[in-house]
Amino acid sequence: MEHDTNGGHAGHGAGHDMSSMAVGATLHCLTGCAIGEIIGLLVGTAAGWANLPTVALSISLAFLFGYALSAIPLVRGGIALSAALGLVLAADTLSIVTMEIVDNLVMLLIPGAMDSGVLNPVFWVAMALALTVAFFVAWPVNRAQLRRGKGHAVTHQALGGGAGMDNRPLAIGVGAFLLGGFVASLGTLLH
C-alpha cells in the first residue's frame, strides 16, 4: 500500500491522486522551463550570442518562470510573496534542476539542434523531444518527493490541500507553443 503525506495508509485512489499531483508538478516545471528556454534562445539568437551564454540565459529564465508559475497560486491563495518564494524554492528546485539537465543534454545530443536557431524546424522538433524526455525523467522525481511530503506537497499543504488543478491548459499551451514555432519555422523555409 502507498502512504499518503500524513503518514496514513492510502488506497488506490490516493495513489492516483499522487500521480495526478506529480503530473501537475511536472507540467508546471515543463511550462516554466519551456517559456524560459524559448525566450532565452530568442534573445541569444537575436543578439548573435554563442551557445554557452545563450544556454546560461535560457536556464536562468527557466528557473525564473518555473518558480513564478508555482508562486502565483500561492500568492493568490493569500500567502505573502516572501513566504511563497521560500515554499517554491523548496518545492520546485529539484524538479527544475532535473528538467534542465535532461532537456539541455538531449538538445546537445541531437546533431545540429543547438546551432539550428529558432527559425529552423530542427530546433522545434529537438525542443519538443527534449522537453518530452525531460518530462518523463522529472515525473518520477516529483512523485518520489510527493511520497515523502516534499516538492509540490509543500505548496499543496500551504494552500490547505484544496482541489486539484486542471493541468490540461498547461499541456495544451506548451504543445501549441511548440507547434506554432515549428509551423512558423516551416514558413521561413518557403521564402
163: DSSP letter:
P
State the pLDDT at residue 94. 93
Rounded to an integer, what distance in angstroms lies between the CA atom of residue 121 and that of residue 117? Answer: 9
Sequence letter at residue 21: M
Q: 94-119, pLDDT tens digit by residue?
A: 999 999 999 989 988 999 888 887 88
Query: What are the residue boundaries of the structural domains of the chain, listed by start?
Result: 11-189
Q: What angle is formed at CA 11 by the lines to CA 8 and CA 14, rounded to 5 degrees?
A: 85
- Amino acid, single-letter form, for residue 168: R
In tens, the pLDDT along 168-191 reads 787 788 888 889 989 989 988 776
Q: What is the DSSP letter of 10?
A: E
Are the C-beta atoms of 11 and 1 separated by less than 8 Å? yes
With b for 16 or more beta-carbon neighbours within 10 A and e for fewer, the 108-147 pattern comes to eebeebbebebebbbbbbbbbbbbebbbebbbebbbebbb
9 phi and psi angles, rounded to 5 deg = -80, 140
- Is the pLDDT at 62 greater than 90? The verdict is yes
Residue ranges of alpha helices (H) inside the chain are: 12-47, 51-76, 81-109, 113-116, 121-147, 152-158, 168-189
> How many CB atoms lie under 10 A from the CB of residue 12?
9
32 grid coordinates: 516554466
Cβ contact 119:113 at 8 Å: no
More confident residue, 160 or 31: 31
User: For 142-159, how does the pLDDT look when each residue is reduced to its tens digit (9 = 90+)?
Assistant: 899 888 877 766 766 666
What pLDDT is stored for residue 8 in this prediction? Answer: 38
- pLDDT at res. 163: 47
pLDDT of residue 126: 92
Residue 26 has pLDDT above 70, yes or no: yes
> What whole-number distance in Å separates Cα of residue 98 and Cα of residue 81?
25
d(CA 187, CA 138): 33
State the pLDDT at residue 16.
56
